[in-house]
Amino acid sequence: MKITLLSEDSVRLEPVPGQMTIEAPTAEQSFSPFHMLASGLAYCTFSVMYAWAESAGLDAGDLTLEVSWTFAQNPQRVDRYDMRFRWPSLPARRLEAARRVATLCTIHATFAQPPVIAIDGTTGPSVAAPIPDRASA
Q: Is residue 121 part of a domain?
A: no
Q: Is residue 97 part of a domain?
A: yes
Q: Is residue 135 part of a domain?
A: no
- Model confidence band, residue 137 (pLDDT cutoffs 50, 70, 90): low
pLDDT in tens, 65-121: 999 999 999 999 999 999 999 999 999 999 999 999 999 999 999 999 999 999 998
* Inter-residue long-range contacts of 77-86, CB under 8 Å, 24+ positions, other chains counted: 78/34, 78/37, 81/38, 81/41, 81/111, 83/41, 83/42, 83/45, 85/45, 85/49, 86/62
Domain interval for residue 31: 2-112
Q: Read off the CATH number of the domain in which 47 is found.
A: 3.30.300.20
